[in-house]
Structure 1
């Protein structure tokens, strides 16, 4: 007799994909799936349309845990809905045979910037020398390439990364930025992440991308004693405005005098706070990217 599963799906704005995926991953089974946009060729200058909504999916086994798992997902959805109205949870039954492969159908490679292609490990991609492949499977920690803050970080990273450089990745999440930096030429990356589940996922991603020898992950807060005693050519902080403001002195301390810094996760309404702070530390803004309400900065010392 075929085992049955409950498919849970939800439509949400793109900027809420990552927090909701985290909820789905925590209480679902086998990861989460997010509908990707296909049917365009970035190497021909084509750009993906910006959707108003994306669909997230996960799967629950039919057993004694089903109702509690579903209730936990609904609680998470209600909390996120305080920030932005979401669609209704949709459910349907599927068989074990459907579940084994169905969720993989929703994942396609995601091009970012001019040099990066984020790809599920089961997808076969034609050899394309113009882009670096980053293998990142669903259900991972924050940092999948769907969220504007991560995409903008990757775009800025392409412009400032140097061969054989040292990179500090604060709030490393899934490890996507450290992986990208390594594949674009960095010699050594140090990722700092407080969430243990994110560290576990990131370590798996490092192995998938064969960069585990180049990236060191630290599961802690910003503890200076755990960080190698070097000055980094590039410091990346894809976090929140609040944490950027609280930790900027440490970020500054770890940056080489001629290095670059990428700050992301900044809301437009809070930009002036960051601008005031970097002025105090004698930095200038070299590049500013915006995506809806989000801002990412590339800065350096004056």
Structure 2
């Protein structure tokens, strides 16, 4: 499970893709090998250090860096990304592939340098949660939007407005491109680069240096406390714990808050942190990962 956590953390801190090495040559070894592709210019050492720290590893794992041509990692990433059927009638489809069912709800995606392709269990569970919650006309906040897949899905399911926030400029760029691929206009899908208390620890100041871009309809996301009908945060355990007050503060009284990016054994920490402000907490599980949801009763800071 530590390898799973590290793989997800690497994606959140700059990697474009990760994969576990399951070759027979390593059958008798107690080591797990993670192959990771980074975009050109990424600070690999910093990414690995931040990823290791974010999941509480006492030591940075041994690693080797090999340089390759840019087209190789793009090609490899594209080849590994296939259409994903989340549930019947809902697909996440790479921009460069044909939708298997043109009549389905197809979320077209080019993840670029952001996390969120629809293949990871946490993303699937969040998509299923959104599908079960959206009845039409809701305001949805995607907290840590990454590729924008959840914000886009919310609109396709019938939400009136979705807002995606992230601390990574590359994520906002990717989400904006994916919004365009799905014909989502800025009046329906707002995207904001945030900093300050919305910035998880261990992120450097350079990454968090720009506050909020793109406003439409006069609605500023950062000042929109207790505004959203659904708030969903598919990030990692430590940011979910550290930013709990901020995450909860955006939801209306009675709104649903969904939390994922959590391993099964980490569930007690999330339940303890959020139970003062959430009623009717429910948990879904997939491949060792969990998604927690509950109805807001109060702000954590008021508890």
Q: TM-score, normalised to structure 1's length?
A: 0.67
Question: Which of 284, 287, 295 is the equivalent residue of 1:300?
Answer: 295
**Offset of 1:14 from its aligned partner?**
6.3
Query: Counterpart of 2:141?
Result: 168
SS of match in other structure, 2:294? strand
Matches within 5 A, 1:136-285: 136-213=109-186, 214-221=188-195, 226-228=222-224, 231-285=227-281
Higher share of residues assigned strand: 1
**Offset of 1:140 from its aligned partner?**
3.0
Is 2:262–2:291's contact at 8 Å kept on the other side of the alignment? Answer: yes
**Offset of 1:210 from its aligned partner?**
1.1
**Offset of 1:299 from its aligned partner?**
0.8
**Offset of 1:18 from its aligned partner?**
4.9
Matches within 5 A, 1:10-21: 18-20=8-10
Q: TM-score, normalised to structure 2's length?
A: 0.67
Q: Which has the larger radius of gyration?
A: 1
Question: Which of 268, 272, 288 is the equivalent residue of 2:283?
Answer: 288
Encode CA deviations 1:120-146: one digit per residue, 9 max, x unaligned.
1121224443x3211112433112223
Whose relative contact order is higher, 1 or 2, with alpha carbons under 8 Å and at least 6 apart? 1
Residue ranges of structure 2 left out of the alignment (5+ in a row): 20-31, 199-219, 298-303
**Cα RMSD (Å) of the superposition?**
3.9
CA distance in 2, matches of 1:17, 1:168: 25
The verdict on how the C-alpha distance between 1:158 and 1:16 changes in structure 2, with shifts beyond 3 A counting, is farther
Q: How many residues align?
A: 257
Encode CA deviations 1:218-272: one digit per residue, 9 max, x unaligned.
2113569734466211011112333323333333332222321101122333322
